[in-house]
Copies of this chain bind each other. A is one copy, B any other.
Amino acid sequence: MNNFRFSNPVTILFGKGQIANLTAMIPAEAKVLMTYGGGSIKTNGVYEQVKAALANHKFVEFGGIEPNPHYETLMKAVELVRAEKCDFLLAVGGGSVLDGTKFIAAAVPFVGEPWDILAKNAPLQTALPLGTVLTLPATGSEMNGNSVISRAETCEKLFFGSEKVLPRFSVLDPETTFSLPPRQISNGIVDAFVHVMEQYLTYPAAAPLQDRMAEAVLKTLIEEGPRTLANPKDYNARANLMWCATIALNDSLSVGVPQDWSTHMIGHELTALHNIDHAQTLAAVLPNLLTKKREGKREKLLQYAKRVWHLTSGPDEERITTAIAKTRAFFESLGVSTHLATYSVGPETITTIAARFQQRGWLGLGERGDTTPEEVSEILTMSL
């Protein structure tokens, strides 16, 4: 097992009616900026619940944070926070609202051009405190310090991470997800599944507990995912999906083990260039990445085949092929296509992505640092 440092101080308030309890989590004297997205919270009752919980706080609102939140939009929120002198942010929504609000928290006190936080990994001296009310299980943003922001102007989608933007608290009420469109639930299942795979499907590192905990999330997603799609008001299915998505990316699965985030890195480019849903890009890339890198990932693919898909007979190669095929079939069964052709992506996009990786110096991705831009092109070609 590798050495590691683990710290995750986010307080989780989980369950029915928990939005009411956020009152006590925000300093009484704080002036709050409440952020949200396209306005679905105004039709599903969440907006009213949050407003009621903030009855004794001063607060202003900023709606309209889009999926794959735009730098341009978020900078308007930064101006509002500065003008209104808000000192606490409350993000109400899914991963995009949460990620966007983390960026606002970082950008408000940032000295210089805030884009540098993303483009140059500029270190944060401080950030505004923030809390979240999660309404879409998927990204894990509610319990980590990660954020991914897009710039419409340049078709870029970039990541930053800092413990300074860890939420002080996150409210997870599964009932807030009852009214989500099936596509968003399907995307959430795929996103959480791929998060786990990128921390798990590498090479053995003598870390059997981390392996089994990762497998625990994968098996539960396979079991609960279809259940929550079949019956959107099955509270327990939604609760289990929500908790799986949080555990999938709260840093507890990755301690002491190698990781391979290349599926996400490739996927982000596809979203940036074609505005494809994040999870759709992951579903298209992961099966082919596993196929391309099957030699380096051989031992873990066999473990995954056995423990997650119960493949115990037949030659090794066949079990690996079947496990990858079952992964693809799982995504398709949720209604998420695993072919980029579905989204009219063609060879010219592949050339652009490979050139961007070259230009950024991303010459060796993956747990062994051996996935070259040429291999990225091959993986994308397989994904068409």
Say yes or no: B3 contacts A14, CB within 8 Å.
yes
- Fill in one digit per residue for A212-235: 1 if any B CB lies within 8 Å of its CB, else 0: 110111011001100000000000
Tell me the bound Cα distance from A10 to B10 in angstroms: 11
Per the 8 Å Cβ criterion, residues 1-55 of A in contact with B are 1-18
The distance from the CB of A381 to the nearest CB of chain B, in whole angstroms, is 36
Contact of A12 with B18 at beta-carbon distance under 8 Å, contacts A206-B236, A252-B252 already known: no
Contact segment of A73-81, A238-246, A280-288, A312-320 = A238-246
A255 at the interface (CB under 8 A from B): yes
Say yes or no: A7 contacts B9, CB within 8 Å.
yes
> Within the oligomer, what is the number of copies of this chain?
2
Tell me the bound Cα distance from A222 to B10 in angstroms: 32
A208 at the interface (CB under 8 A from B): yes
The distance from the CB of A233 to the nearest CB of chain B, in whole angstroms, is 14
A258 at the interface (CB under 8 A from B): no
Say yes or no: A244 contacts B209, CB within 8 Å.
yes
The distance from the CB of A213 to the nearest CB of chain B, in whole angstroms, is 5
A247 at the interface (CB under 8 A from B): yes
Give chain A's interface residue range (CB within 8 Å of chain B).
35 or more
Tell me the bound Cα distance from A247 to B208 in angstroms: 13
A364 at the interface (CB under 8 A from B): no
Tell me the bound Cα distance from A8 to B7 in angstroms: 8
B residues within 8 A CB of A207? 240, 243
Say yes or no: A212 contacts B216, CB within 8 Å.
yes
Per the 8 Å Cβ criterion, residues 60-80 of A in contact with B are none
A256 at the interface (CB under 8 A from B): yes
Whose C-beta in chain B lies nearest to the C-beta of A18?
B3
Contact of A212 with B219 at beta-carbon distance under 8 Å, contacts A1-B243, A3-B14, A7-B12 already known: yes
Whose C-beta in chain B lies nearest to the C-beta of A214?
B216
Contact of A11 with B7 at beta-carbon distance under 8 Å, contacts A208-B223, A209-B244 already known: yes
Contact of A14 with B9 at beta-carbon distance under 8 Å, contacts A209-B216, A220-B208, A240-B206 already known: no
Whose C-beta in chain B lies nearest to the C-beta of A247?
B209
30 contacts between A and B (CB under 8 A): A1-B236, A1-B239, A3-B14, A3-B16, A4-B12, A5-B12, A5-B13, A6-B11, A6-B12, A7-B10, A8-B8, A8-B9, A9-B9, A12-B255, A14-B256, A206-B240, A207-B240, A208-B220, A208-B223, A209-B216, A209-B220, A209-B240, A209-B243, A209-B244, A210-B243, A213-B247, A216-B216, A239-B256, A243-B256, A252-B252
Chain A contact residues, CB within 8 Å of chain B: 1-18, 206-210, 212-213, 215-217, 219-220, 223-224, 236, 239-240, 243-244, 247, 252, 255-256
Given contact pairs A4-B12, A5-B14, enumerate 6 new A-B contacts (beta carbons under 8 Å): A3-B15, A5-B13, A8-B9, A209-B244, A216-B216, A243-B256
